[in-house]
Structure 1
């Protein structure tokens, strides 16, 4: 992935402000004012992230998230929501975005997240951090999971759950810890929701690896089974 960022907004003034902030930080941007063109453009231009200007009542975010999953790009393209006042936060959660920021936001928060997520904006390409477990490799910067070289298609939340479990293999992570890692800050998530996503992740990994590698500790949480 390149350092190109796609900004989906129908507000030209807001785009120009974001473009200036991001350009000063070394990122290249492209404006997409027709939401239906967002994912095809990102795929064609090999963009690293989509930043969506979310307005109340709009279906743009959910449509883009669905299109990313449909094309198998959900784990490769970072999806960021800039949430306007009065936007239903439940819609943001349903879209499984990688990160959301409530507007108005401090530019340094967005820039810090981009730097940590898609890498160095200066054009340098540091080596990618890889987590390895059994026959599985997790490329955090490239947002890919490979089993014996074949990619596994995971949702953003499932990817973050796996990253947390692999990063501390063998240790039991509580549901509260996993919620803090995999969901947007401040989101209300029931423990049962964690169980549902872990179940999906477990099935995807079992299909690829041929065995169950996630251990459930009743009333406590989950761990990567290193036995």
Structure 2
């Protein structure tokens, strides 16, 4: 039982660099999608919903700086963390990358171990459950590292899917998630699941959260989806 696997988009035109990054990310438990240039990266962003982008500055067709600018200019991807990688080590280049919207800037050559730490640091901010953080909402505590959930200090029994649903809700309390978004986040795009399955597991989550009493914290938003609180 674990939180849903975070997805990292690796954008680099050098196959050896992509392979190195992908291997280390997958070994660290991340799902990886790859793009060889800026145009492909923007296309994949529209098709998939990555949780973080590792982006090379020097790319054919559309530069990494332009990809970064476009990501940060769109409301739906504005909060997507970007780690920019570049051989440009000058302070001016670093400042330009960060001012364009990059959340972190790593110069080549870099330590793979350090880069993995930076990836986890960014995900700790946007998807804390995936890196073992403890989440709290009202009287509910979710310990992502030990996969335990408590409400009013009493342990709750949740199935794996219900745990992933709850971790998704608790990462962004108040956000309304559509059934399709929950399918992508909790089940993944590689698995076909009918949207009605979401309703079934939401029902199981509600029952689990109220097994010791208390009000149902999961809110149904008619025509839109579900939210916590």
Structure index of larger Rg: 2
**TM-score w.r.t. structure 2 length?**
0.49
Q: TM-score, normalised by structure 1?
A: 0.49
